[in-house]
């Protein structure tokens, strides 16, 4: 197998869609739908990279992960459990460290590129 550099603007290796409300106790407001294009998953499954699009809504952020994000388009926010809000728009990049507790809010449809390292204890 030849190792290639991945361009996240290229066609992803796989695509999936989900309605976030199908995950128990996750959604706080709205009915967000996600489209995910996976470009890379490491052999051990602990590192992944892809493209994600979400319709508006608010939900509990996933935990046990380090996640780097680059906002391709849209407007979203991360809201810490203490109420601190950070808004991100097209062109923004940020890192959500393992241990973050709070919410994702998609204000207007948002597309991001992401790199996630799974930090779950059983990972």
Could you write out the DSSP letters of every residue in the chain?
Answer: -------TTSPPSEEEEEEGGGSTT-EEEE--EEEEEEEEE-TTSSEEEEEEEE-SEEEEPP-SEEEEEEEEEEEEEEEETTS-EEEEETT-EEEE-TT--EEEEEEEEEEEEEEEEE--TT-
Residue 1: pLDDT over 80? no
Confidence of residue 23 (pLDDT cuts 50, 70, 90): confident
CATH fold group of domain 15-118: Jelly Rolls (2.60.120)
Query: In angstroms, rounded to a whole number, what is the distance separating the alpha carbons of residues 36 and 111?
Result: 10
Q: For the chain, which residues make up each domain, given as ranges?
A: 15-118
Confidence of residue 122 (pLDDT cuts 50, 70, 90): low
Span 60-95, pLDDT tens digits: 998 899 999 999 999 999 999 999 999 999 999 999
For the full predicted model, state whether its pTM sits above 0.85: yes
Under 8 Å between Cβ of 89 and 71: yes
């Amino acid at each position: 197998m030849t190792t290639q550099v991945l361009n996240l603007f290229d066609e992803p290796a796989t695509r999936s869609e989900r309605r976030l409300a199908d995950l128990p106790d996750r959604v706080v407001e709205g009915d967000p739908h996600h489209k995910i294009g996976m470009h890379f998953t490491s052999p051990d499954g602990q590192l992944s990279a892809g493209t994600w699009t979400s319709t508006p809504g608010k939900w509990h952020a996933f935990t046990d992960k380090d996640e780097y994000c680059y906002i391709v388009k849209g407007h979203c926010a991360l809201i810490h459990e203490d109420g601190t809000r950070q808004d991100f728009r097209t062109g923004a990049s940020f890192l959500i460290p393992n241990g973050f507790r709070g919410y994702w809010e998609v204000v207007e449809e948002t597309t991001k590129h992401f790199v996630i390292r799974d930090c779950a204890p059983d990972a």
